[in-house]
């Protein structure tokens, strides 16, 4: 990944994090709010690979943690793993699949919700499982799925897609004299 | 036999050579991937540990404070850009509830008019009675507080915490545990402070609670978040013999016992009772309270700073 692409990826992660904190978190629909940053990190991972996905997820998470004066590292840990997983999925079975963004966003939203709940539980924060995993997660899941394809297209237009080298099945036949 | 030749190609007298590809070594790529993600996860865990264990005075709080200050212009700028869209969203959202809201407001208006007349009488009576009473331990509100009006600049993502970040901090006199209110009623309490920003834990957070009293009957209890909901409160610990009725107003109790006192001044409106229930097995009544404050649409809050602090 070139320096320019890294800069564009960082800008996308930063803007998504700020939008999440300032606007999107307060757009509650049906008891839950969409997670624009998570959807963006998944798109970055799918398009640019596991390492950029993890790094940009970490950066976006740190921006959120700092902006909201929360416990540093919590959001970045969740988003690092989300970006890495999305990247690995894009590098392997998800490659070339049209519905890969929707599948990845849906799966990662559920896993991130569960992982976040466990993390907050370990930090002794009071979080009600029913609210975190059902009341708020169900609408967030639907909203994230709605955002998945538009955000994926937008991110692809900004940072492009990693050109991955395909393992060649071609062989060269040489006649022995 | 050469490693590049298969048994069949050898029999045919051919040499088969794979065309070299540009793919980097698989082992090296995997190692790099693991190293990067391991490093990031480890960094996150270290940050969580240090941030969680050291709290307000830790080595990271300064870094976080500086970072939050640096990010503030972006948040304010984005907030201004987004305000028209947010207004449009609020307008569209309000259309859905406008009819029922108008009916409710008309009824409330009639109710308030009646109360305003009663309050005028009560005010005259109160002036006389207050001069007669010697409230040594009574909380003094609002005379002892200065308001600090602060714009809401952010909200944490996810459903794990109910909090807001506001654009006022220790440089404005704000300290930990200062109450936050709006014209509608109690919002929450300050849980973190930097020079320019403060984090306010909303009353709808799982960990938030406020001692409260039924304004009509004097029944006391603790207002806390109703589990499993987003914006409903319960008045907990109300004894069975106390009388609480639907539509009763609930306000902060503002108690004081010796050197200890409630975080909240007395008489800040919290909400209105929407249901009262009790079972034989429960020790206390189950009182549900609809908060006056719309926690999802907070644009600004007033932080109550004790006047003797500045």
ipTM, interface predicted TM-score of the complex: 0.78
- Does A151 or B101 have the greater pLDDT score? A151
pLDDT exceeds 60 at position B18: no
Residue of A116, A162, A26, A107 lying closest to B93 (CA atoms)? A26
Please answer whether residues A72 and B156 qualify as being in contact, where contact means their C-beta atoms are separated by less than 8 angstroms. Answer: no
Question: Across the interface, do B67 and A66 touch by the CB < 8 Å criterion?
Answer: yes
List beta partners, residue B256.
Answer: B261
Averaging pLDDT over each range in A9-18, A23-32, B138-147, which range is the top one? A9-18
pLDDT band at B134 (very low <50, low <70, confident <90, very high): very low
- Does A19 or A174 have the greater pLDDT score? A19
- The whole-chain average pLDDT of chain B stands at 79
Q: A152: which 2 tokens? A: 């994926």
- Does B63 or B288 have the greater pLDDT score? B288
Question: Across the interface, do A28 and B230 touch by the CB < 8 Å criterion?
Answer: yes
Neighbouring C-alpha atoms within 13 Å toward the C-beta of B137:
9
Tell me the torsion sign for CA atoms B303, B306, B307, B310. Answer: negative
Q: A159: which 2 tokens? A: 């940072």
Give residue B15's pLDDT: 57
Please answer whether residues B199 and A21 qualify as being in contact, where contact means their C-beta atoms are separated by less than 8 angstroms. Answer: no
**Any idea where the domains of chain A sit in the sequence?**
3-159
Of A54-63, A137-146, B113-122, least confident by mean pLDDT is: B113-122
Give residue A40's pLDDT: 96
pLDDT band at A3 (very low <50, low <70, confident <90, very high): confident
Q: B284: which 2 tokens? A: 């206390």
Domains in chain B, start-ordered, CATH in brackets? Answer: 64-133 (no CATH), 145-203+297-306 (2.40.10.340), 209-292 (2.40.10.350)
Give residue A89's pLDDT: 92
Give residue A8's pLDDT: 93
pLDDT exceeds 80 at position B89: no
Question: Across the interface, do A131 and B230 touch by the CB < 8 Å criterion?
Answer: yes
Give residue B63's pLDDT: 81
Q: Work out the number of other CB atoms within 10 angstroms of the CB of residue B137.
A: 9
Average pLDDT on B226-237 reads 79
Please answer whether residues B223 and B236 qualify as being in contact, where contact means their C-beta atoms are separated by less than 8 angstroms. Answer: yes
pLDDT band at A96 (very low <50, low <70, confident <90, very high): confident
Average pLDDT on B178-198 reads 89
Residues 6 or more apart in contact with residue B209 via CB below 8 angstroms? B222, B223, B224
Q: Work out the number of other CB atoms within 10 angstroms of the CB of residue B204.
A: 22
Average pLDDT on B133-151 reads 60
Interface test with A, best of B23, B39, B40 (most A CBs within 10 A): B40
Cα angle for residues B119, B247, B129 (degrees, 5° grid): 30
Give residue A1's pLDDT: 72
pLDDT band at A169 (very low <50, low <70, confident <90, very high): low
State pLDDT tens for residues B46-83: 888 888 777 667 777 788 888 888 888 888 888 888 77
Report DSSP state, residue B28. Answer: H
What percent of chain B has pLDDT above 70? Answer: 80
Average pLDDT on A15-29 reads 87
Nearest chain B Cα to A61, which residue?
B44
Which residue in the set A70, A136, A167 is minimally distant from B159, CB to CB? A136
pLDDT exceeds 70 at position A75: yes
Could you tell me which CATH number the domain at A3-159 has? 1.10.1760.20
pLDDT band at B104 (very low <50, low <70, confident <90, very high): confident
A-contacting residues in B 78-97 (Cβ below 8 Å):
78-79, 82, 85-86, 89
Of A13-27, B55-69, B162-176, B188-202, least confident by mean pLDDT is: B55-69
Which residue in the set A21, A28, A173 is minimally distant from B16, CB to CB? A173
Q: Is B17 helix (H, G, I), strand (E, B) or coil?
A: strand
Q: A143: which 2 tokens? A: 């909203």
- Does A23 or B2 have the greater pLDDT score? A23
Report DSSP state, residue A38. Answer: H
Give residue A71's pLDDT: 83
What percent of chain A has pLDDT above 70? Answer: 88
Helix axes A36-48, A74-91, angle to 10 degrees: 40
Residues of chain A found within 8 Å of residue B209, distances taken between Cβ atoms: none
Cα–Cα separations (whole angstroms), residue B89 to B83, B92, B166:
10, 5, 22
Give residue A147's pLDDT: 93
Q: Is the minimum CB–CB distance between B207 and chain A shorter than 8 Å?
A: yes
Interface test with B, best of A40, A45, A67 (most B CBs within 10 A): A67
- Does B22 or B122 have the greater pLDDT score? B122
């Amino acid at each position: 990944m070139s320096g320019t692409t890294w800069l564009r990826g960082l800008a996308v992660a930063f803007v998504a994090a700020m939008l999440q904190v300032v606007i999107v978190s307060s757009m509650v629909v049906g008891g839950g709010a969409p997670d624009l940053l998570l959807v963006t990190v998944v798109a970055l991972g799918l398009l640019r690979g596991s390492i950029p996905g993890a790094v940009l997820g970490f950066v976006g998470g740190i921006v959120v943690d700092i902006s909201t004066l929360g416990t540093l590292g919590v959001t970045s840990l969740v988003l690092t793993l989300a970006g890495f997983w999305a990247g690995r999925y894009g590098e392997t079975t998800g490659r070339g699949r049209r519905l890969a963004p929707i599948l990845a966003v849906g799966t990662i939203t559920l896993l991130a919700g569960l992982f976040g709940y466990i993390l907050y539980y370990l930090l002794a924060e009071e979080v009600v499982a029913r609210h975190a995993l059902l009341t708020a997660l169900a609408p967030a899941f639907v909203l994230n799925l709605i955002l998945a394809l538009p955000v994926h297209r937008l991110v692809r237009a900004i940072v492009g897609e990693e050109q991955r080298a395909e393992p060649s099945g071609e062989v060269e036949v040489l006649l022995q004299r | 036999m050469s490693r590049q030749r298969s048994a069949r190609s050898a029999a045919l007298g051919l040499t088969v050579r794979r065309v070299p590809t540009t793919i980097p070594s698989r082992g090296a790529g995997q190692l790099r991937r693991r190293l990067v993600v391991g490093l990031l996860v480890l960094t996150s865990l270290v940050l969580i540990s240090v941030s969680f264990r050291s709290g307000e005075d830790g080595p990271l709080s300064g870094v976080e404070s500086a970072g939050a200050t640096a990010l503030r212009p972006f948040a304010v700028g984005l907030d201004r850009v987004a305000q028209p869209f947010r207004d449009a969203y609020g307008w569209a959202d309000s259309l859905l509830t406008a009819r029922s809201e108008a009916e409710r407001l008309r009824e409330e208006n009639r109710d308030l008019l009646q109360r305003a007349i009663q309050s005028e009488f009560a005010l005259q009576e109160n002036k006389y009675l207050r001069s007669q009473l010697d409230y040594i331990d009574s909380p003094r509100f609002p005379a002892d507080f200065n308001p600090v009006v602060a714009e809401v600049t952010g909200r944490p993502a996810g459903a794990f915490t109910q909090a807001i970040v506001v654009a006022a901090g220790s440089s404005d006199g704000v300290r930990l545990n200062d109450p936050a209110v709006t014209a509608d009623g109690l919002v929450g309490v300050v849980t973190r402070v930097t020079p320019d920003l403060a984090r306010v834990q909303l009353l709808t957070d799982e960990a938030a609670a406020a001692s409260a009293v039924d304004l009509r009957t004097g029944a006391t209890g603790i207002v806390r978040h109703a589990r499993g909901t987003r914006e409903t409160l319960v008045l907990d610990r109300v004894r069975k013999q106390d009388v609480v009725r639907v539509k009763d107003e609930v306000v902060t109790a503002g108690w004081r016992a010796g050197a200890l006192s409630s975080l909240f001044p007395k008489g800040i409106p919290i909400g209105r009772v929407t249901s009262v229930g009790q079972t034989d097995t429960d020790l206390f009544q189950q009182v549900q309270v609809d908060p006056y404050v719309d926690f999802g649409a907070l644009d600004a809050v007033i932080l109550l700073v004790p006047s003797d602090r500045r």
